Amino acid sequence: MIVVRCKDCGVEVTNQSGSCGCPNMVRVNEDTVTAIDLTRTIMVRSNHVKEKSALSPDDLAFQEKRRKRKVRKLDFEVR
């Protein structure tokens, strides 16, 4: 789900809520955002950002650390 906040009126708009109600006319259609002035909108939540943050950087960093720890342990045991 996409959530966009209109900077002019402060209303958060989703694809179910129609336009924000002020002259900037912020509106979400499926996965696109329309507004009279897009620079006066804030992307609060988008599908793409959510996918990335849900699956990657922290998890990958954590897994890499674990791998390194395992390798070190093996090296230590071999010696």
Q: Which residues bind Zn ion (CB under 5 A)?
A: 6, 8-9, 20, 22, 24
Whole-angstrom Cα distance, residue 70 to residue 14?
A: 45
Question: Residue 26 Cβ, how far from Zn ion at the closest point, in Å?
Answer: 5
* Distinct helix (H) and strand (E) counts, the chain: 2, 5
Closer to Zn ion by CB, 22 or 33: give it.
22
Question: Residue 3 Cβ, how far from Zn ion at the closest point, in Å?
Answer: 14
Closer to Zn ion by CB, 19 or 46: give it.
19
Max Cα-Cα span within the chain: 72
Closer to Zn ion by CB, 29 or 78: give it.
29
Question: Residue 16 Cβ, how far from Zn ion at the closest point, in Å?
Answer: 16
φ/ψ of 58, rounded to 5, equals -65, -45
Whole-angstrom Cα distance, residue 1 to residue 46?
A: 6
